[in-house]
């Protein structure tokens, strides 16, 4: 076999319209590189942001999409002696994963823990690591403290509330659908606010008192993000790490949060962004290694459970993208190239 299939974007636009399945030569690993036969690679909201031209990173087109994967090493370049053929590995910060074979720098692959499923291994970095960094490195949420979070039913949101149980902090979880409330309670979320029929700010006051909540994370932005910032206590801090309310928006200028300046100024609140690729680019290697090691331990030991993804062949990209953006989707779409 000398050729493979790859999902390639040729233009910015609606994901299902600009992606094309192409036949390409199977790549050869160069010095210090390994070739991986991809077993599974997820469709994350960020992949769709890139395709719509509104993400913090813009690849040169045409480009194969995808940012996280698990696979089996099937060829080694010269000078690679700490990875072996047949080993199951996870790629870290390697892009262009939506294809049958990926070539990666050998320093950017890690052995996949034996205990975890292919679906879990394919999702072990981006979301669990983000959740861990938000509650530790970014906000240092202490045992007994409240943390307010939006889109609590997202993969990141579920990791955060599982971390709350592990680390002893309490979560106020915001969801947009009444039907989503029970799942969050079953997972151990302390309080749930449903914006379908409840006022976010009023409910936060009822839960923590009129002083507000000291720490919050938000990945919805828009009016919900603004309501979260107004629910902060004086001196409180909110980390914004996504903008789900503007997901189909292709004009980057429309990704906004209508912050109430009076409360930010006079109550000296902090609203700060978080972007995992920037954290990777600006953090010391030792810190990155330690955080990934901790994430792997939490997932491999079952403390953090990642819902099983729904497998799709590369040919089914339109269905996979539709599932990724469908309201109430229970599973994350995973491309399984051998399917
Ligand atoms: N900054 C970073 O470095 C970083 C890293 C990782 C992830 N993220 C961001 O984290 C967010 C979650 O990612 P994920 O992979 O965990 O998502 P996911 O598993 O695909 O889940 C998406 C969730 O968002 C909810 N949602 C969608 N649109 C919404 C809206 N308009 N208002 C309120 N809730 C909405 C959905 O609710 P329903 O159940 O009601 O449909 C669903 O629970 C994304 O914005 C992603 O870009 C950022």
List the domains of the chain with CATH numbers. Answer: 3-124+306-335 (3.90.180.10), 126-277 (3.40.50.720)
Ligand 1 binding pocket includes 180 (Cβ within 6 Å): yes
Task: Give distance in angstroms: CA of 197 to centre of ligand 1.
Answer: 20
Query: Cα torsion at 327, 332, 337, 339 (round to 10°)?
Result: -80
Choose one of 244, 245, 278 to mutate for the ligand 1 pocket test, by most ligand atoms within 8 angstroms of C-beta: 244
Give 273's strand partners.
240
Choose one of 93, 242, 291 to mutate for the ligand 1 pocket test, by most ligand atoms within 8 angstroms of C-beta: 242
Residue 98 neighbours by CB under 8 Å, 6+ apart: 6, 7, 41, 47, 64, 65, 66, 314, 335
Ligand 1 binding pocket includes 275 (Cβ within 6 Å): yes
Per-residue confidence in pLDDT tens, the chain, 339 aa: 899 999 999 999 999 999 999 999 999 999 999 999 999 999 999 999 999 988 888 899 999 999 999 999 999 999 999 999 999 999 999 999 999 999 999 999 999 999 999 999 999 999 999 999 999 999 999 999 999 999 999 999 999 999 999 999 999 999 999 999 999 999 999 999 999 999 999 999 999 999 999 999 999 999 999 999 999 999 999 999 999 987 666 777 878 999 999 999 999 999 999 999 999 999 999 999 999 999 999 999 999 999 999 999 999 999 999 999 999 888 999 999 987
pLDDT at 255: 85
Q: How many residues does the chain have?
A: 339
Task: Give distance in angstroms: CA of 75 to centre of ligand 1.
Answer: 36
**Measured from the CA of 46, which atom of ligand 1 is nearest?**
47
Task: Give distance in angstroms: CA of 45 to centre of ligand 1.
Answer: 7
Task: Give distance in angstroms: CA of 165 to centre of ligand 1.
Answer: 21
Q: How many CA atoms, within 13 angstroms, populate the side-chain half-sphere of residue 184?
A: 31
- Tally of CB atoms within 10 A around 243: 21
Q: 68, 280 in Cβ contact below 8 A?
A: no
pLDDT at 247: 67
**Measured from the CA of 278, which atom of ligand 1 is nearest?**
3
Q: Supply 127's token pair.
A: 């979301």
Asked if the bond preceding 62 is cis, omega within 30° of 0, the reply is yes
Across 176-269, the runs of DSSP E, i.e. the strands, are 191-194, 213-218, 232-240
Q: Which residue has the tokens 């949060």?
A: 257
Rounded CA separation 39/334 (Å): 10
Rounded CA separation 51/293 (Å): 31
**Nearest residue (CA) to ligand 1, atom 25:** 151
pLDDT at 54: 86
Rounded CA separation 292/337 (Å): 26
**pTM higher than 0.85 for the full model?**
yes
Residue 199 neighbours by CB under 8 Å, 6+ apart: none
Helix %, strand %, coil % of the chain (to 5): 35, 25, 40
């Amino acid at each position: 076999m000398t050729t493979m299939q790859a999902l390639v974007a040729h233009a910015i636009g609606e994901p299902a319209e600009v992606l094309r399945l192409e036949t390409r030569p199977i790549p050869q690993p160069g010095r210090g590189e390994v070739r991986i036969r991809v077993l599974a690679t997820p469709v994350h909201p960020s992949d769709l942001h890139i395709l719509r031209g509104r993400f913090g990173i813009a690849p040169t087109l045409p480009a194969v999409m995808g940012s996280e994967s698990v696979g089996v090493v099937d060829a080694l370049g010269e000078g690679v002696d700490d990875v072996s053929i047949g080993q199951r590995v996870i790629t870290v910060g390697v892009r262009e994963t939506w294809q049958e074979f990926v070539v990666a720098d050998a320093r950017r692959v890690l052995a996949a823990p034996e205990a975890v499923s292919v679906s879990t291994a394919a999702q072990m970095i981006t979301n669990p690591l983000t959740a861990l960094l938000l509650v530790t490195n970014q906000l240092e949420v202490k045992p007994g403290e409240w943390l307010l979070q939006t889109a609590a039913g997202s993969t990141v949101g579920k990791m955060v509330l599982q971390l709350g149980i592990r680390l002893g902090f309490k979560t106020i979880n915001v969801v947009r659908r009444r039907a989503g409330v029970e799942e969050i309670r079953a997972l151990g979320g302390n309080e749930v606010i449903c914006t379908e029929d409840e006022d976010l700010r009023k409910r936060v006051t009822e839960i923590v008192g009129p002083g507000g909540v000291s720490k919050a994370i938000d990945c919805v932005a828009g009016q919900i993000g603004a309501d979260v910032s107004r629910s902060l206590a004086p001196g409180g801090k909110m980390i914004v790490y996504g903008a789900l309310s503007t997901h189909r928006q292709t004009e980057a200028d429309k990704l906004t949060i209508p912050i109430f300046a009076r409360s930010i100024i006079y109550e000296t609140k902090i609203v700060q962004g978080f972007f995992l690729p920037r954290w990777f680019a600006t953090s010391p290697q030792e810190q990155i290694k330690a955080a990934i090691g901790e994430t792997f331990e939490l997932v491999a030991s079952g403390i953090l459970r990642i819902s099983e993804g729904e497998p799709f062949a590369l040919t089914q990209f339109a269905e996979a993208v539709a599932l990724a953006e469908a309201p109430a989707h229970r599973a994350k779409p995973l491309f399984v190239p051998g399917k």
